[in-house]
């Protein structure tokens, strides 16, 4: 059933985020781990393929952000209070 907002169909529902996407993701992971994917139709399998691709990209981006945050903190820890002040980095 399509998503509705205020009685009107959502023109571009986000099928890869939100509660329903999370629930379907868990179901698909279980079925895939069991090797039991033939019970799903082509549209669901296409969604799953795209969802896994997006998840992989999101995980990679999260890792890069965490590395950047950690690296920035390490670099700032090397600076004195005066150097931070000079660079307008005082926290």
pLDDT digits (tens, 9 = 90+) for 23-57: 889 999 999 999 999 999 999 999 999 999 999 99
Looking at the structure of the chain, the number of domains it has is 1
- Residue 4 bridge partners (DSSP): 9
Is 65 among the domain residues? yes
Is 28 among the domain residues? no
Is 8 among the domain residues? no
Is 85 among the domain residues? yes
Question: Average pLDDT, stretch 3-10?
Answer: 53
Is 62 among the domain residues? yes
Is 39 among the domain residues? no
Is 5 among the domain residues? no
Count of beta carbons in the 10 Å neighbourhood of residue 48? 19
Is 74 among the domain residues? yes
User: Range of 89's domain?
Assistant: 44-91
């Amino acid at each position: 059933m399509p998503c509705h907002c205020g009685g009107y169909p959502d023109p571009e529902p986000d099928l890869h985020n939100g509660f329903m996407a999370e629930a379907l993701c868990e179901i698909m992971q279980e079925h895939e781990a069991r090797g039991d994917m033939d019970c799903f139709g082509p549209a669901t399998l296409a969604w799953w393929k795209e969802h896994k691709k997006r998840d992989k990209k999101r995980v990679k981006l999260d890792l890069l952000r965490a590395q950047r945050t950690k690296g920035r903190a390490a670099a700032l820890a090397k600076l004195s209070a005066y150097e931070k002040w000079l660079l307008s980095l005082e926290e």
